């Protein structure tokens, strides 16, 4: 009798279709020689890594130059609407335009009668125009606040800003801090958003940065480079210095513009260049945005900056001084050369020839860095000074005084 097949009967899934120990399963990985398994494993990992590298090369802008260009372009589109052109007008000091009799006689010999300014033009209408950059910092109380440099707008008769869309507005100088070269302008609310701010304490040498501004009046010019150095002090540019050094091209007119990272965050405000010709030579400086923000907020809130001071004259620790003091090799610190009478330093017991090696629980390495940290300390607060005196460590408590603002 032929077998009857029940086509509706379900298969018995409780039994394995092919057991691992079935002798007929000749292609089982478990039955391969160990050497072959190792070869297959290495091959699989190689193919996997190759695929990952291909994907990374396709999507990582740092591995694909074309994608890097797109990243720069994307940041530029994001940032440019909030970067402004700043134009300041200053009365010309006519006394500086006068020639000495000898110079006037020399020029007349070759040029004839020298031209004179129109008699009906009063001296106060003779204006000098300075151009620079700025960027939107914040909006509050119905106003937009713009950051720029002090040297661009201090004592200006009139300041105007122009946005990317061509909108031009007269700006009020809300506050100026000449000691750090930071200024805040105030204009009515505009559509341009405040730029996101980065954290310069996390900035590293070698990071890509972009400078956007108006060099030589060429609006919204982009230059690209890297962070060349951080923590530059003692350059003699400002009273308080903590510069980011960059090789992104910075030229006259870039001052006040933002230095941004690849995330479109402002990490600094461009302020100065090192140049023997007046143009770009590969070394530019920007004020770290953490420092800028602290100063700018005080300018907005109270119109001036409050700084701490201890009343001591300091100098760097040179090799000659270290040898004279018989200090250990590699000893850090700054030397006290003068103490002002009745100053916080005098009251704390600080003495001439003391070596300051620590402040507020952190080591001290140079004068500029120490001045910045003291200036950032709230007047009236008590801070700890660690000094080396005649080879012995001592800890002093100093009550921070208030530094008189510089007009």
Distance of CA 287 to the CA centre of its chain: 5
Q: How far is CA 80 from CA 12, 88, 168, 259, 366, in A?
A: 70, 21, 15, 12, 37
Asked whether the beta carbons of 130 and 123 are under 8 A apart, the reply is no
Asked whether the beta carbons of 295 and 305 are under 8 A apart, the reply is yes
The Cα–Cα gap between 387 and 357 comes to 5
Helix (H) or strand (E) holding 211, with range, is: strand 208-213
The Cα–Cα gap between 261 and 219 comes to 20
Check residue 77 and give its pLDDT: 92
100, pLDDT greater than 70:
no
Count the Cβ atoms, other than its own, within 10 Å of residue 266: 26
Q: What sign results for the dihedral spanned by CA atoms 363, 368, 371, 372? A: negative
Annotated catalytic residue: which of 151, 180, 247, 377?
151
pLDDT tens for 357-385 read 999 999 998 898 899 999 999 999 999 99
CA nearest neighbour of 190 among 264, 136, 238, 116: 136
- 105 CB contacts (<8 Å, ≥6 apart)? none
The Cα–Cα gap between 267 and 247 comes to 15
Asked whether the beta carbons of 183 and 133 are under 8 A apart, the reply is no
40, pLDDT greater than 70:
no
252, pLDDT greater than 60:
yes
Check residue 238 and give its pLDDT: 77
Check residue 242 and give its pLDDT: 82
Sequential DSSP letters for 16-34: -SS-TT-TT-TT-GGGS-H
CA nearest neighbour of 351 among 317, 316, 389: 389
6, pLDDT greater than 50:
no
- Give the chain's mean pLDDT: 81
Annotated catalytic residue: which of 133, 180, 181, 228?
181
Check residue 272 and give its pLDDT: 84
3, pLDDT greater than 60:
no
CA nearest neighbour of 358 among 329, 391, 334: 334
Q: β-strand 127-140 against 355-359: which pairing, if any? A: unpaired
Q: What confidence category does residue 20 fall into, taking pLDDT thresholds of 50, 70 and 90?
A: very low
More confident of the two residues 195 and 62: 195
- Whether 353 is catalytic is no
Q: How far is CA 339 from CA 58, 189, 323, 351, in A?
A: 62, 49, 23, 7
Check residue 25 and give its pLDDT: 43
- Whether 93 is catalytic is no
Name the phi and psi angles at 27, rounded to 5: -95, 15
The Cα–Cα gap between 331 and 326 comes to 10
- Whether 255 is catalytic is yes
Helix intervals (H) in 240-366: 289-302, 319-324, 344-348
Asked whether the beta carbons of 241 and 235 are under 8 A apart, the reply is yes
Annotated catalytic residue: which of 88, 150, 180, 255?
255
Q: How far is CA 58 from CA 46, 61, 70, 311, in A?
A: 18, 8, 13, 58
pLDDT tens for 184-211 read 999 999 999 999 999 998 999 999 999 9
pLDDT tens for 111-122 read 666 666 555 555
The Cα–Cα gap between 47 and 100 comes to 82
Q: What sign results for the dihedral spanned by CA atoms 184, 187, 188, 190? A: negative
pLDDT tens for 297-319 read 999 999 889 999 999 999 988 88
Asked whether the beta carbons of 185 and 215 are under 8 A apart, the reply is no
**Could you tell me the pTM of the whole model?**
0.73
**Which of 48-62, 199-213, 279-293, 393-407 is least confident?**
48-62
**Which of 3-7, 257-261, 329-333 is least confident?**
3-7
The Cα–Cα gap between 250 and 283 comes to 8
CA nearest neighbour of 303 among 185, 149, 176: 176
CA nearest neighbour of 239 among 128, 114, 159, 150: 150
Check residue 289 and give its pLDDT: 96
DSSP annotation of 168: E
CA nearest neighbour of 407 among 180, 176, 181: 176
């Amino acid at each position: 009798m032929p077998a009857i097949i029940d086509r509706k009967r379900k298969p018995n899934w409780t039994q394995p279709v092919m057991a691992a120990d079935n002798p007929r399963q000749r292609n089982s990985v478990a039955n391969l020689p160990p050497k072959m398994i190792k070869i297959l494993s290495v091959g699989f990992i190689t193919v996997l890594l190759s695929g990952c590298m291909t994907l990374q090369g396709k999507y990582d802008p740092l591995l694909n130059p074309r994608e890097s260009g797109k990243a720069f372009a994307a940041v530029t589109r994001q940032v440019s609407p909030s970067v402004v052109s700043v134009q300041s007008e200053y009365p010309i000091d006519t006394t500086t335009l006068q020639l000495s009799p000898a110079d006037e006689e020399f020029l007349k010999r070759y040029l004839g009668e020298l031209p004179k300014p129109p008699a009906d033009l009063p001296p106060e209408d003779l204006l000098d125009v300075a151009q620079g950059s700025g960027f939107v910092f914040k909006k509050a109380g119905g106003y937009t606040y713009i950051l720029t440099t002090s040297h661009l707008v201090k004592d200006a008769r009139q300041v105007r800003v122009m946005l990317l869309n061509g909108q031009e507005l007269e700006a009020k100088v809300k506050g100026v801090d000449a000691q750090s070269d930071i200024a805040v302008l105030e204009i009515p609310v505009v559509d341009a958003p405040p730029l996101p701010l980065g954290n310069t304490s996390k900035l590293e040498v070698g990071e890509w940065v972009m400078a956007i501004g108006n060099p030589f009046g060429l609006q919204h010019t982009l230059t690209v480079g890297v962070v060349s150095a951080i923590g530059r002090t003692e350059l003699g540019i400002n009273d308080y210095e903590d510069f980011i050094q960059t090789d992104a091209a910075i030229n006259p007119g870039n001052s006040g513009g933002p230095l941004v990272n690849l995330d479109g965050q402002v990490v600094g405000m461009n302020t100065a260049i090192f140049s023997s010709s007046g143009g770009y030579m590969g070394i530019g400086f920007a004020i770290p945005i953490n420092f800028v923000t602290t100063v700018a907020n005080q300018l907005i809130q109270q119109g001036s900056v409050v700084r701490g001071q201890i009343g001591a004259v300091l100098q760097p620790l040179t090799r000659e001084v270290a040898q004279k003091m018989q200090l250990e090799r590699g000893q850090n610190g700054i030397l006290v050369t003068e103490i002002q009478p009745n100053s916080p330093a005098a009251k704390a017991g600080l003495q001439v020839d003391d070596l300051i090696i620590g402040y507020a629980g952190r080591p001290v390495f140079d004068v500029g860095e120490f001045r910045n940290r003291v200036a950032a300390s709230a007047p009236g607060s008590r801070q700890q000074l660690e000094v080396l005196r005649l080879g012995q460590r001592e800890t002093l408590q100093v009550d921070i005084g208030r530094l008189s603002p510089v007009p």
